[in-house]
Amino acid sequence: MKCPACHENMVEKKRGEIELRIDDRLYLVRNISFEECPVCGERVLSPNVGQQIYEKLKAREYKEEMIQVPVLDGTYG
pLDDT at 76: 73
Q: Which residue has the higher pLDDT, 74 or 42?
A: 42
Looking at residue 17, its pLDDT comes to 94
> Does the structure show a pLDDT above 90 at 74?
no
Buried b (16+ CB within 10 A) or exposed e, 6-28: eeeebeeeeeeebeeeeeeeeee
Residue by residue, DSSP assigns 39-76 as TT--EE--HHHHHHHHHHHHTT----------------
| Contact residues for 14 (Cβ-Cβ < 8 A; gap 6+) | 33, 34, 35, 36
* Better-scored residue on pLDDT, 75 or 9: 9
- Output the pTM of the full model: 0.75
- pLDDT, tens digit, 9 for 90 and up, residues 1-59: 899 999 999 987 899 999 999 889 999 999 999 999 999 999 999 999 999 999 999 99
